[in-house]
Structure 1
Amino acid sequence: MQLKGIHHVSAMTAKAPANYNFYTKVMGLRLIKKTVNQDDVSMYHLFYGDEKGNPGTELTFFEMPMAGQNRDGNDSISALSLRVPSDAALEYWTKRLDEFGIAHEDIRPRAGRLTLAFRDFEGQRLILISDEHDTGVAAGKPWSQSPVPAEFGITGLGPVKLTVHEAAPTAAVLTELLNFRRKGSFPNIDAPDQPDILVFETGEGGSGAEIHLEERHDLAHERLGRGGVHHVAFRVDNDDELKQWIEAVRKVQFPNSGYVDRFYFHSLYFREPNGILFELATDGPGFDTDEDFEHLGESLALPPFLEPKRAQIEALLKPLETANPQANF
């Protein structure tokens, strides 16, 4: 069995309207699904991605208005990457972030690629990564109505960074259970006195299929809040393969969710030994299952098993206007 790459990353926000404005108006992503957290329908679950929300392009947010600020630290998903087509795109983004008053680092190499690191308005740790010399998992296609020119637009998720106190247990899960390959390592430019960051890849490899594993001995345990990442999901081809993964996880006796039907995809959840939440998610059925492609994300979408409760669910949510997403660009 072989995972195909990163499927999605789910993070935390306290302000859905500000989150929507930032990720559509500043970052130029498309809101592909406005729905709710199926485990707590009182909170929005917003999905952003390329023009169709293809697997590997999805950045999602749970809205928790009362969430405290994330306290960065160990045993966490400590950064997520967003792919852009070229080195020139990073120069464009440097200017764009400056125009919006967003602090950022200089363009620097990470794992052999040029990158640009910054934080969103809640402290979410983001890294733009150039695909100039990338090979492997194909990128997505930027949204045609994005305020960002297509040649510089975000095309999907890049490497996800995990930060732990001891790397060995997480590395063992990646290689021995999930069949990732050890690709190499690179110096930790953010903490030069700490060990090199380990690189693992799966599937066809490339930036859309990498995990960067950072071992830090100088950090306390992370406290998850707004500006933090909840979980990372890896791509599974179909339901038959997902069921095989469920059996593999059960054999090693990791507590897990079993098969979960999210309607837009099907999933398995479990925590690796350092407590980081992993999800395995199928590529389909997809986000255009219940909405027309031209109108993705414009209204509140509910899976069939929640539709009978629509009135009660809508009463729990503050209105979030997304019906005309390009109006403010």
Structure 2
Amino acid sequence: MNLKPILGQHHVSALTANAQKNYHFYTEILGLRLVKKTVNQDKPTMYHLFYADESGSPGTDLTFFEIKNAGRTYPGHSSISETALRVPNDRALFYWIDRFVQFGVKHDDITEYAGRKVVAFEDHEGQRLSLVSDENNRGVKGGEPWRKGPVSAEHAIIGLGPVALTVKSIKETAHILTKVLQYKESGKYTRVKGNSITTYYVFSTGEGGTGAEIHVEEQPDMQKERPGRGSVHHVAIRVENEEELGKWAEYLKQLRIGNSGIVERYYFKSIYFRDENRILFELATDGPGFLQDEHLDTLGEKLALPPYLEHKRAEIEANLTPLKTS
């Protein structure tokens, strides 16, 4: 089947126990824009918050489902274990070190992975994150910083970087990435983690670069991750349009890979499936995007519902704790 290459990261969706504190951290400290305040379409009693660049461009979205009673995360394999966020250059990392100190954000020193300067850090719920420099990026371009945000454009986060997976056996995930999703294994590097040195294998797609890589480590002796607040639910990767997504649906069917079929998400269309390591992947279309129901200047200010949930607005709003965004 003639499939176009995956374009790179689309979004990463994680869990939070408190939408208000989550909003504070990701907008007021990290300087991301809340581009869509909506609900989990499969369970509309919980918020689904989308943080991104100025206009919510594909490849810049970090999203959160609010589960108020979510317990702590116990890290392990079968997990999306770190999400990188791109900054313009090496110099910006020094700004972020100072900002993390100012706001009491737990962070490591500047180090280097796969030839790029990186700063690992955690949010207030233990979400495992890093900042990665785009200084030498020659691949997928970043987004446009939030104009009214608290971080200047020269330092601001401009999108998603590499997503790291921790798996019990790399063989199965490598098969899905290379033989099914048509990524290429493009290198490897080592990281010091605790008292050990871990090897990560790099898989890239499309134009490559920081916005189009998945990094995988094998940890057979770890326990399986017990997810909670601060864990990642799934990683979504970019498909150009609905026509192309239809081809992927047919391709997965031919390969007898169990999947959700095409799911309408209003802002994009998706297909979900898991690999044998229980990593949840989503194929998501670039469009139609977040501007079809809100103006660019007022993105994220009101509760947005897709048309097929609009008739339940009163019921949905009654079950949500008001989120203060101003």
Give the structure 2 partner of residue 66 of structure 1: 69
RMSD: 1.0
Distance 1:192-1:202 versus aligned 2 partners, 3 A rule: farther
Aligned mates of 1:192, 1:131 — CA distance in 2 = 29
Q: Secondary structure at the match of 1:91?
A: helix
The answer as to whether partners of 1:194 and 1:216 remain within 8 angstroms in 2 is no
Give the structure 2 partner of residue 140 of structure 1: 143
Q: Secondary structure at the match of 1:175?
A: helix
The answer as to whether partners of 1:36 and 1:43 remain within 8 angstroms in 2 is yes
Which of 73, 94, 114 matches 1:111?
Answer: 114
Give the structure 1 partner of residue 237 of structure 2: 234
Which of 182, 187, 195 matches 1:184?
Answer: 187
Give the structure 2 partner of residue 76 of structure 1: 79
Letter in 2 for 1:160: V
Residue 191 of structure 1 and its aligned partner are, at CA, apart by 5.8
Aligned mates of 2:206, 2:135 — CA distance in 1 = 20
Letter in 2 for 1:172: H
Q: Which digits, 9 at most, give the CA deviation of each residue in 1:18-49, with x for residues without a partner?
A: 00000000000000000000000000000000
Which of 18, 35, 48 matches 2:38?
Answer: 35
Which of 204, 209, 213 matches 1:210?
Answer: 213
Give the structure 2 partner of residue 164 of structure 1: 167
The answer as to whether partners of 1:194 and 1:215 remain within 8 angstroms in 2 is no
Aligned mates of 2:119, 2:280 — CA distance in 1 = 26
Distance 1:6-1:192 versus aligned 2 partners, 3 A rule: farther
Q: Secondary structure at the match of 1:314?
A: helix
Structure 1 residue runs of 4+, over 4 Å off? 191-195
Aligned mates of 1:56, 1:90 — CA distance in 2 = 20
| 1:272 and 2:284 correspond | no
Give the structure 1 partner of residue 100 of structure 2: 97
Which of 247, 251, 271 matches 2:250?
Answer: 247
| 1:303 and 2:306 correspond | yes
Q: Secondary structure at the match of 1:31?
A: strand
Structure 1 unmatched runs, 5+: 325-329
Letter in 2 for 1:48: Y
Give the structure 1 partner of residue 201 of structure 2: 198
Give the structure 1 partner of residue 18 of structure 2: 15
Distance 1:191-1:205 versus aligned 2 partners, 3 A rule: farther
Residue 194 of structure 1 and its aligned partner are, at CA, apart by 5.3
Residue 196 of structure 1 and its aligned partner are, at CA, apart by 1.7
Aligned mates of 1:154, 1:193 — CA distance in 2 = 30
Letter in 2 for 1:181: K
The answer as to whether partners of 2:240 and 2:286 remain within 8 angstroms in 1 is yes
Aligned mates of 1:40, 1:217 — CA distance in 2 = 34
Q: Secondary structure at the match of 2:292?
A: coil
Residue 195 of structure 1 and its aligned partner are, at CA, apart by 5.0
The alignment covers a number of residue pairs equal to 323
Q: TM-score, normalised by structure 2?
A: 0.98
Which of 80, 83, 88 matches 1:85?
Answer: 88
Using the aligned pairs only, state the percent identity.
56
Aligned mates of 2:157, 2:198 — CA distance in 1 = 30
Q: Which digits, 9 at most, give the CA deviation of each residue in 1:196-250, with x for residues without a partner?
A: 2100000100000000001113310001110100000000000110011111112
